[in-house]
Structure 1
Amino acid sequence: MCKHNGYVLEQVFSPLVAHGADFLVQLRPLAQKCVTKHCYNHYRGFLHTQRKLFEKETEKRAKTLLYAYRVALTGVHLLETGEVQTHLPTLNERFRLTFIPELIARKANAEFGTLSAVDVAFHTRQLDEWETRLNAAYEASALPTEPPAEELDRFLIELRLPIA
């Protein structure tokens, strides 16, 4: 969590918990302090990776495109609000991208899961705009730049002491 890793934060704040709910109750308040401005680097890099995967596909899939949007919207939302939210329909309640529900429906239907050339051009422009918005959110973000490393260290020591 000290390395500005959005993936780790997404796991900590996931509503899907198979085991360790009591531990997460203790960890989440501290993890919230680890939501930093530099999480941007994770989401920017992840978005670039998703876009490259989309570009390489011979048949452009709605699933890959949705993942790129999920990453972009999660990053912008995190930088603007300090909240880790990865659920695309929930994110879209805020951002109101009219095409997201259609893409979700396409993904669910294998027959219509691919995109036309017109769709690809449109979504390439959209992702360019979201990348610009991600950059702007980083520049404007009031989030702290560093997580509380010493506080995390104390938390781990206290967690391990009863075991020792």
Structure 2
Amino acid sequence: MLDEQRERLRTVLAQQRHPLLFVTLSGSHLYGFASPDSDYDLRGAHILPLREVIGLREGAETHEQHSNDDGTEVDLVTYDVRKCFTLLLGKNGNVLEAIYSPLVIYTTPEHEELKALAMRCVTRYYAYHYLGFARNRLKQVSHQQPLSIKSALHTYRVILTGLHLMRTGELEANLRHLNAVFRLSSVADLLARKQAGGDKAQLEEGAVAPYEAEWRRLLGDLEQSVESSALPVKPDAQAQADLNDLLIRLRLQTV
């Protein structure tokens, strides 16, 4: 990202009511196939003050803000830190990807602590997040005619991210980096067409079947990887305890 783009996105954060733990860029920019007309998807965590979590009137666990500045659409979603940590332990790949996104818009020393702990909470059952996401995308494909190239790339991205995580224990959300490992000619072709045609580029009528067959093959590989993965079956107990301590410290900072 250019520094001016990052600073422009930071102006959105200045409007937030609660202190932030981190905010990163997700969506097509993180996945490696953004176009000039792509929206900016910001994801992160905010810190509800202690008085808003121990009383009868609880603060909002989820904040959403949608804005359009001179044609640039920005979609910001943040979770309260407790919800963020709970989703992380609940095998939520979206939260995991937000924590580790290299496209950092706002960060704190505690975000670095979280990054040191989060991968120790990842288990082989994180595959079910990616399996569920991919299966839903395959259901949608049958109703999207013609299918956008962006949608096809998202389907590849989610399957390959899950498969790579199961096989290596490493999180990689960028489809270009993933395809340097998987070397799928179909992905390389779609990436080139998306770059040329932007977010509105579409596949030709009847062209979906070969991609769908490859998605189903890769989905089968992901299903099998659950049992063969070297990832643990439970989060690291000490990492969970350290997450709890981090949450308490973050809350106490708001007193």
What's the TM-score once normalised by structure 2's chain length?
0.60
Deviations 1:64-105 (A, max 9, x none): 110000000000011111111100000111111112121012
**Distance in 1 between residues matched to 2:133 and 2:94, nearest whole Å:** 10
Gaps of 5+ in 2: 1-87
SS at match of 2:207: helix
Contact 1:79 1:143 (8 Å CA) reproduced: yes
Whose radius of gyration is greater, 1 or 2? 2
**1:109 positional shift:** 3.2
Match of 2:220 in 1: 132
**1:114 positional shift:** 2.2
Match of 1:123 in 2: 211
Q: Which protein has greater RCO, CA pairs closer than 8 Å, 6+ apart?
A: 1
Structure with the higher fraction of residues in strand conformation: 2
Identify the match of residue 88 of structure 1 among 175, 198, 203.
175
**Distance in 1 between residues matched to 2:205 and 2:227, nearest whole Å:** 33
**Distance in 1 between residues matched to 2:202 and 2:107, nearest whole Å:** 39
**Distance in 2 between residues matched to 1:142 and 1:84, nearest whole Å:** 14
Alignment of 1:6-45 (within 5 A): 6-45=93-132
Contact 2:194 2:201 (8 Å CA) reproduced: yes
Match of 2:186 in 1: 99
**Distance in 1 between residues matched to 2:196 and 2:244, nearest whole Å:** 47
**Distance in 2 between residues matched to 1:52 and 1:22, nearest whole Å:** 41
**1:21 positional shift:** 4.4
What's the TM-score once normalised by structure 1's chain length?
0.90
Gaps of 5+ in 1: none
**Distance in 1 between residues matched to 2:215 and 2:205, nearest whole Å:** 15
Deviations 1:7-58 (A, max 9, x none): 1000001001111143321111100112211111110010012212222112
Give the aligned CA root-mean-square deviation in angstroms. 1.9
Identity of aligned residues (%): 36
